[in-house]
Amino acid sequence: MTSDVADDSRTMPEQRLGARRPSEVMAALGIVQLGDPILTTATRPFVLPDECDEALRILARLSAVADAVQRVHDFSTGAMGLAAPQIGEPRSIAIFRVAGEPQLVLINPQVLEIGPPARRDQEERSEGCLSFFDFRCALRRPRTAVISYRTPAGDEAIVRFDRGRLAGDALHEVDHLGGVLCVDHVEPGAPALSMA
């Protein structure tokens, strides 16, 4: 007996998404969506190198989900990031991908410096988030940032972002690890969200 219904069980999840809203597409790829309390809860830092295996396990999940997202959405002209809470992991690790550069893994990141420090002098921008991809936030972000982080082996490293939107994009991921969303940065009285 044959069926007229195609069996899509062997296709990749991103191939079965069809004409869904962007947030539904992200949810189908494993991205936790707005409203889940994990997104507004601070993460637990890693004790390294003792928890190296756990960090690498979550890193593998982050990378796989980010790969799936990049197969359905083009980030080739900018950057994309993904933080552990966005895949349901309450730990302090995020990845950051800038077009044409190696993936940056931020474990236990700490912001050391931003510029300019005064909010009124920071760059006005529109910012999206994979956890509510239907909308964009209107906010201000620093133009530069210096962030320290740990490698899986526990070594300390420092990265400086000083090109265009990259500082704000990296700070977006660090914010996720503290339970802060871009909507939390929208100034009182400003339109919080716009359609993506």
Catalytic residue numbers, as ranges = 173
Residue in the structure block whose two tokens are 């980010």: 66
> Omega into 49 within 30° of 0, i.e. cis?
yes
Number of separate helices (H) and strands (E) present in the chain: 3, 8
Distance from C-alpha of 138 to C-alpha of 118, rounded to nearest angstrom: 17
Distances (CA, A) of 50 to 39, 55, 153: 26, 10, 9
Residue in the structure block whose two tokens are 């530069």: 144
Structure-block tokens of residue 30 = 């494993």
Closest by alpha carbon to 131, among 171, 177, 68, 87? 87
Closest by alpha carbon to 142, among 165, 159, 176? 165
